């Protein structure tokens, strides 16, 4: 059954800030060129750690985008969210004066939130006492502050929420925002995720559970999803924000449309707090749910932007899940991991990678998986190795799987 245009949800704006660039065009150009944003860690001295590199957003000055005083009161993850949202709104040519502010909502989440603010103020408390803790610390560390700041900055008075489902956050934010529109509670949603957790305690925690790559001799080759020599993910930071709106209102205001969000899946592994289920059943259920909500057969999917973290277990279980869902078609579709270039943006990953799916549909090109050198018998699909590939295609799926067993899948279709 075809939904009425008032219940069809399309993407009209994309904002990205990543280790590959401070905006969407520069990030996308780097993706298509197969460039890596990973390098030696500069945020702190990592000499005592096993891993000495990360995918940082370099040379970023929040005061270049935001009022200096306001920026000082915000955590880095809030800086990224605000900048990405502003770009997405410009890209979508949104004029709030022409819209009903009560029908514009925000749903931007984070996996970890304001951890830098927590650490800075904890140090101030221990070293100089409670009076030295900033009165702005609580608003800066709250996960919901990204949605709040964006709402306040543009006067959006519609549904305002945040989600926190670890590395599935960005996909869940988009899926739930689309459902908010379909329920008739909003005409437009500003949705996505932001993360800035490259700090010693987070890095030590991930390192001590064996999740991080230790390929220090050549950091740009460290993230190697689906390659037999993969040894862990690379921590990254940044944000992705996408403007979603009703198809009819988007057409009425003459908006440029990247694609339609037609499917959404949200399931749990119910297995382990950090490890994915080795049989891939939770991820498979999530993809099936997204296909069902989209009204698609498996063979109608052309491309998957994989979760593809470059950890031994994740990449194998995701490959197995794709085979369970798509059968023989799994060997005909293309699947790549852009984390090979961006690193793992955790709570922002799903939104950033959804943006890549929309841009891929627009430009009719498949992003590559770089650093794919040694095939793994357990990972034997078409991972678009090392170079972007022109292709005619209409449907793109994006997977995100997070600690806690959270699974999120969104599906986009190109409009004719």
Confidence of residue 119 (pLDDT cuts 50, 70, 90): very high
Q: Is 217 exposed, middle or buried (0-12, 13-18, 19+ CB in 10 A)?
A: exposed
Q: In angstroms, rounded to a whole number, what is the distance separating the alpha carbons of residues 404 and 401? A: 9
pTM over the 0.85 mark: yes
For the cut 70, the answer to whether the pLDDT of residue 68 exceeds it is yes
* Range in 65-69, 111-115, 124-128, 303-307 the model is least confident about: 65-69
Confidence of residue 95 (pLDDT cuts 50, 70, 90): very high
For the cut 90, the answer to whether the pLDDT of residue 62 exceeds it is yes
What is residue 1's predicted lDDT score, i.e. its pLDDT? 59
What is residue 346's predicted lDDT score, i.e. its pLDDT? 98
The share of the chain scoring above pLDDT 70, in percent, equals 100
Q: Known catalytic residue: 272?
A: no
What is residue 57's predicted lDDT score, i.e. its pLDDT? 98
Q: Known catalytic residue: 167?
A: yes
The share of the chain scoring above pLDDT 90, in percent, equals 98
What is residue 300's predicted lDDT score, i.e. its pLDDT? 98
For the cut 70, the answer to whether the pLDDT of residue 47 exceeds it is yes
List pLDDT tens digits, range 319-377: 999 999 999 999 999 999 999 999 999 999 999 999 999 999 999 999 999 999 999 99
Buried b (16+ CB within 10 A) or exposed e, 345-362: bbbbbbbbbbbbbbbbbb
Question: Distance between terminal CA atoms of the chain?
Answer: 18
Q: Is residue 149 within 8 Å of residue 82, measured between CB atoms? A: yes
Of 307, 357, 379, 406, the active-site residue reads 307
Of 167, 286, 357, 379, the active-site residue reads 167
Confidence of residue 416 (pLDDT cuts 50, 70, 90): confident
Domains of the chain: 9-252 (3.40.47.10), 264-413 (3.40.47.10)
Q: Known catalytic residue: 379?
A: no
Of 22, 149, 344, 406, the active-site residue reads 344
Q: State the average pLDDT for the chain.
A: 97
Name the one residue in this structure whose structure tokens are 């067993």.
405
């Amino acid at each position: 059954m075809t939904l009425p245009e008032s219940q069809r949800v399309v993407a009209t704006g994309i904002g990205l800030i990543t280790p590959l660039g401070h905006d969407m065009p520069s990030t996308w150009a780097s993706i298509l060129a197969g460039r890596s944003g990973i390098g030696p860690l500069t945020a702190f001295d990592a000499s005592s750690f096993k891993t000495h590199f990360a995918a940082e957003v370099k040379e970023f000055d929040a005061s270049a985008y935001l009022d200096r005083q306001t920026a000082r009161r915000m955590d880095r993850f809030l800086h990224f969210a605000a900048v990405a949202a502003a770009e997405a709104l410009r890209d979508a040519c949104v004029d709030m004066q022409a819209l009903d502010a009560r029908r514009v909502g925000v749903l931007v989440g984070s996996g970890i939130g304001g951890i830098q603010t927590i650490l800075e103020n904890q140090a101030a408390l221990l070293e100089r006492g409670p009076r030295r803790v900033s009165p702005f610390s609580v608003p800066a560390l709250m996960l919901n502050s990204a949605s709040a700041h964006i709402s306040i900055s543009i006067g959006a008075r519609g549904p305002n929420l945040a989600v926190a489902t670890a590395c599935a956050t960005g996909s869940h934010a988009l899926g739930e925002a689309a459902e908010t529109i379909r329920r008739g509670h909003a005409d437009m949603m500003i949705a996505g995720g932001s993360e800035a957790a490259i700090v010693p305690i987070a890095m030590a925690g991930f390192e001590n559970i064996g999740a991080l790559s230790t390929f220090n001799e050549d950091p740009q080759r460290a993230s190697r999803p689906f390659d037999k020599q993969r040894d862990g993910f690379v921590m990254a930071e940044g944000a992705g924000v996408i403007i979603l709106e009703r198809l009819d209102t988007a057409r009425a205001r003459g908006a440029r449309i990247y694609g339609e969000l037609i499917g959404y899946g949200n399931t749990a592994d119910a297995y382990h707090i950090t490890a994915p289920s080795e049989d891939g059943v939770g991820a498979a259920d999530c993809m099936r749910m997204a296909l069902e909500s989209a009204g698609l057969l498996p063979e109608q999917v052309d491309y998957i932007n994989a979760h593809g973290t470059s950890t031994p277990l994740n990449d194998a279980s995701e490959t197995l899940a794709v085979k369970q869902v798509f059968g023989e078609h799994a060997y005909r579709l293309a699947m790549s991991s852009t984390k090979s270039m961006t690193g793992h943006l955790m709570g922002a990953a799903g939104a950033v990678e959804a943006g890549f799916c929309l841009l891929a549909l627009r430009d009719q090109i498949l992003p590559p998986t770089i650093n794919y050198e040694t095939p793994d018998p357990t990972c034997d699909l078409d991972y678009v190795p090392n170079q972007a590939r022109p292709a005619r295609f209409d449907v793109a799926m994006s997977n995100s799987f997070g600690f806690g067993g959270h699974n999120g899948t969104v599906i986009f279709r190109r409009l004719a």
